[in-house]
Amino acid sequence: MDGTVHDSDSRKQDLFVSFADAEILANTDYATLTQNALRLTLAASWDDFAERAPLFHVHKQDVPQTAKAKDALRTESDQIVARLYGITPAEFAHKTKAASCTAHRH
């Protein structure tokens, strides 16, 4: 493959990613979900995904270091998704309790 084509494709991909990132950051819920997912991913492997951190304003000190901190991010994300789908807090609590019971049975 010619280097020029590759460079052009790479620039198109960068422009697409930049547009998608801007669109995500413009929506508070999507931005929070994306940042939480990135923080959890970076907690597992900073070196593999560190180049994405600045795009979403995530710094190394924002990455959860403890299981409790990771659980808090997951809970926040779950609550956002539940709200976006119109699930009430009571329904959400019931669903998570049922899922937890099912997971413990296996």
Could you state, in order of their start, the residue ranges of all structural domains in the chain? 3-105
Q: Contacts for 95-99 with beta carbons within 8 Å, 24 or more apart?
A: none
Under the banding of pLDDT at 50, 70 and 90, the label for residue 24 is confident
Q: Tell which phi-psi region holds residue 3, choosing left (phi > 0), alpha (psi between -120 and 50) or beta.
A: alpha
Query: 14 phi and psi, to 5 degrees?
Result: -60, -40
- Does the global pTM surpass 0.85? no
Share of the chain above pLDDT 70, in %: 73
User: pLDDT (tens digit, 9 = 90+) per residue, 63-96?
Assistant: 999 999 999 999 999 999 999 999 998 888 887 7
